[in-house]
């Protein structure tokens, strides 16, 4: 049966802006950036881990009607699209400080949890992201 998750997807409203954020601010790496004609196949991953890719997909035609794409964009910007990611880190508070200095919009400061220290942020479009420093 299955032995890994290799690809997941999150909707972004602008792929260049998404690159600025996910690569320029969060420090992920581009794994694939392929102009397929009908779409730009753009994936990112944690540096050194290309086996786990996140597709940064722009909702739009021809995959869906412009009307449906508008509904998707509305849900993303209301924060209810459901796309979300949780990363792990060796240093939650240090990473928080680094990203805060880069202007990242946090929804929750680093907080002690039963499972470690974690915090929450949003990408420029409204998607939720968290990162956790697991309890040693």
Partner 1 sequence: MSRAAEGSNRRMLRARDTMDRDYARPLDVPALARVAHVSPAHFARTFRATFGETPHRYLQRRRVERAMYLLRESDRSVTDIAFEVGFGSPGTFSRTFRGIVGSSPRAYRKEAVAAAVPTCFTMAWTRPG
Shortest distance in whole angstroms from residue 124 CB to partner 1: 8
The answer to the question of residue 118 lying near partner 1 (CB under 8 A) is: yes
Decide whether 36 or 78 has the Cβ nearer to partner 1: 78
Query: Between residue 26 and residue 55, which ones bind partner 1 under the rule CB under 8 A?
Result: none
Kind and range of the H or E element at 82? none
Give yes or no for a contact between 118 and 130, defined as CB atoms under 8 angstroms apart.
yes
Shortest distance in whole angstroms from residue 74 CB to partner 1: 5
Chain-centre distance for alpha carbon 105: 13
Piece in contact with partner 1 (CB under 8 A), picked from 36-44, 51-59, 70-78, 89-97: 70-78
CA nearest neighbour of 56 among 114, 6, 8: 8
Q: Which residue has the tokens 């919009």?
A: 105
Binding residues for partner 1, rule CB under 8 A, total 25
């Amino acid at each position: 049966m299955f032995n890994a998750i290799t690809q997941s997807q999150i909707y972004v409203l602008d792929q260049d802006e998404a690159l600025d954020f996910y690569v320029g601010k969060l420090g992920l790496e581009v794994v694939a950036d392929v102009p397929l004609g009908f779409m730009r196949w753009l994936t990112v991953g944690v540096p050194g881990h290309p086996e786990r890719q996140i597709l940064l997909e722009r909702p739009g035609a021809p995959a869906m009607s412009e009307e449906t794409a508008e509904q998707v964009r509305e849900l993303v910007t209301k924060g209810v699209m459901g796309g979300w990611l949780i990363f792990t880190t060796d240093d939650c508070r240090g990473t928080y400080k680094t990203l805060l200095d880069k202007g990242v919009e946090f929804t929750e400061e680093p907080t002690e949890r039963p499972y470690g220290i974690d915090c929450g942020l949003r990408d420029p479009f409204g998607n939720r992201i968290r990162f956790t420093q697991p309890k040693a």
